[in-house]
Amino acid sequence: MRLEEVLYSQGFGTRRICAGLIQQGLVALETGICTDAGHDVVTEGLRFTVRGEAWVFRAPAYLMLHKPAGTECSQKPSAWPSIYTLLPAPLRQRPQKGAVQGVQAVGRLDQDTTGLLLLTDDGQFIHRMNSPRHHVPKVYEVTTRHPLDETQVRRLLDGVVLDDDPRPVAAAACEAVAPLHLRLTLTEGKYHQVKRMVAAVGNRVEGLHRSRIGGLGLPDDLAPGQWRWLEATDLAALRG
């Protein structure tokens, strides 16, 4: 692939801007600075720098973010900062089908919910992960207002009726880890589902954190607001 196209595909600007970065000597390959925008490179395992910033070629891009509280999963937030401001500009500017769209969140978490959030520019991956047909389990750590009891746990496992659907919605797994700590596993994603399910059994969510999607857990060393690439082993864990 031409070096100019590499930069463009990774979100470093229009083709003209990318060519200019190269011609100005602001792009370096492992062999050194390259000023030829038409230079052909092998993209597999390609590492380069732009204005001294290290980058690895990813096509498509898959990443995880530790979503902090007080952020919205929206490109146009209404009241809170967008999660997309936590990402470097190239990830927000990656082109898709001729338009600048950047990576997109795989599903959403409420502004007060923290934890594991996936982002990608792979539309098929987003559809597969969000589709209820694939039953991808998501694990939530729930802090409740009132102490939990066995009756509440059993009702969540058996299924509760929410106001928008007469069919009961059941947790795939449910465990009272501590008197005020519920670990809840869901395989579908209805609007405010965890909060509404907990309310349906007579309790209330005071804190909500997503700790796992499929076989992929949120790393202990990834602080709120930080992100990292998903590797092949991570993607395999998501697929189960």
- Write the pLDDT tens digit of every residue in 203-219: 999 999 999 999 999 99
* 137-213 homologous superfamily: Alpha-L RNA-binding motif (3.30.70.1560)
Backbone Cα Rg of the chain: 21
Q: What letter does residue 218 receive in the DSSP assignment?
A: P
Strands 32-33 and 27-29: antiparallel
Q: Which of 97-111, 124-138, 149-163 reaches the highest mean pLDDT?
A: 149-163
Domain 62-131+221-239 has CATH 3.30.70.580: yes
pLDDT digits (tens, 9 = 90+) for 18-66: 999 999 999 999 999 999 999 999 999 999 999 999 999 999 999 999 9
Three-class SS state of 88:
coil
CATH 3.30.70.580 domain extents, the chain: 62-131+221-239
CATH 3.10.290.10 domain extents, the chain: 3-56
Give pLDDT, residue 200: 95
Tokens of 176: 């009272």
pLDDT digits (tens, 9 = 90+) for 138-190: 999 999 999 999 999 999 999 999 987 788 999 999 999 999 999 999 998 88
When pLDDT is cut at 50, 70 and 90, the band that residue 239 belongs to is confident
* Mean pLDDT, residues 79-84 taken together: 96
CA distance 113 to 70: 8
* Mean pLDDT, residues 84-110 taken together: 88
Give pLDDT, residue 165: 78
Count Cα neighbours of 175 within 13 Å in the Cβ-side half-sphere. 7
Catalytic residue, candidates 110, 164, 165, 234: 110
The closest alpha carbon to 197, from 159, 145, 141, belongs to 159
Q: Which fold has domain 3-56?
A: 3.10.290
For this structure, is 164 an active site residue?
no
Q: What letter does residue 238 receive in the DSSP assignment?
A: H
Which position has the higher pLDDT, 36 or 131?
A: 36
